[in-house]
Structure 1
């Protein structure tokens, strides 16, 4: 099997970007969100699953254009390494047609990760005598987007609407889905004259107030 370089592939059809050096390691992480609520009469708080978080990928990439003195060049030389790192930095710029940065697929061996770049730290570690950077380290964080519009509400939260509770759904879970804040369950309870949030039932229709 031949040596294969890792690549970044923009979704907009632009040319893929091959890394200069494959990463020595990468980190994949994922988490979930839980809400903890104290309930009168219970010794322990009630823990409610809210939602899963998007998976993230973190990698470190190295770029080096430095050329030491040799037979062909009496002095050290090299091109501006920012010409290489800027290709990746541009993947964070807003796409005016999509109103968001482009999705990027990072492919390295069996790893294929699609998402957006949410963080990019550039550290320049070597310079020529004139101050031009010739060596850089990039710490890149990708965040999976999953399916587009999965978490975009079909109705605006600034208008009163109705929702039907499904099996296992709580008021604070509903509040998180609709308002992005589990603490807003109190507003839903007040709107529907609910005194005990643990007594709601599947199939119950609730009014969601405009906030």
Structure 2
């Protein structure tokens, strides 16, 4: 029986596109692991057996998982047709000048989305047809957390007034900044108008942008 491709377990945000896309996969991952850590500073006090700990910052989280592909039942279709879609997420997006931002959606609460970039991929081809074409593969991938907006706990510590200055970084675009600030990449025009930007795709790192409030 021919395996029908499913929608992917991650969404892809490419430059200039308001709606994310999903790659095709054959099997959903059966499990994944999440790693998260914090940094603390030790404050030594004479006379105490152990130091006080002061919270410094949280480190970027990561998700690790294995993805399985098998096209043997498709009559020897090259399995790289599917694996290349995933490994290609490490390539530089010509509009972002950086690899695309992703959102991991498989088995996670939509209220706390995990935005990330593809940090590492290890491919293993484990079966070949008589012509030497790979028809089965396992990919071990690591997704690194990518900050696009404040979470609910961080927002409670911020001013409700969204008017502020943002300094563009390498790989930033107005679409990505609008998504970070407003949760909608289609709201890039108010930022462009406030900063008199005629060509939104040409955004130099270090540019200071006024981020206006929107309704």
TM-score (norm 2): 0.55
Distance in 1 (CA, whole Å) between partners of 2:71 and 2:47 is 67
* 1:106-121 pair list within 5 angstroms: 106-111=104-109, 112-121=113-122
Higher alpha-carbon Rg? 1
Q: Which runs of 5+ in 1 are unaligned?
A: 69-76, 155-211
Distance in 1 (CA, whole Å) between partners of 2:21 and 2:53 is 47
The 1:110/1:45 distance shift into structure 2, 3 A limit, reads closer
2:77 maps to 79
Deviation of the 1:126 alpha carbon = 0.6
Deviation of the 1:106 alpha carbon = 2.4
Q: CA RMSD in A?
A: 3.0
Distance in 1 (CA, whole Å) between partners of 2:83 and 2:40 is 38
Contact 1:64 1:134 in 2 (8 A): yes
Contact 1:119 1:141 in 2 (8 A): yes
Q: Are 1:55 and 2:61 matched, yes or no?
A: yes
Question: Secondary structure at 2:68's aligned position in 1?
Answer: strand
Deviation of the 1:113 alpha carbon = 2.8
Deviation of the 1:31 alpha carbon = 0.6
Question: Secondary structure at 1:100's aligned position in 2?
Answer: coil
Contact 1:59 1:141 in 2 (8 A): yes
Distance in 1 (CA, whole Å) between partners of 2:32 and 2:135 is 24
Distance in 2 (CA, whole Å) between partners of 1:43 and 1:8 is 47
**Which has the higher mean CA deviation after the structures are superposed, 41-50 or 121-130?**
41-50
**Which has the higher mean CA deviation after the structures are superposed, 79-88 or 111-120?**
111-120
Deviation of the 1:29 alpha carbon = 2.1
Would you say how many aligned residue pairs link Structure 1 and Structure 2?
A: 140
2:208 maps to none
Contact 1:6 1:109 in 2 (8 A): no
The 1:54/1:65 distance shift into structure 2, 3 A limit, reads same
Contact 2:116 2:143 in 1 (8 A): yes
The 1:5/1:128 distance shift into structure 2, 3 A limit, reads same
Deviation of the 1:47 alpha carbon = 3.7
Output one character per residue of 1:149-207: Cα deviation in whole Å (capped at 9) or x when no partner. Answer: xxxx97xxxxxxxxxxxxxxxxxxxxxxxxxxxxxxxxxxxxxxxxxxxxxxxxxxxxx
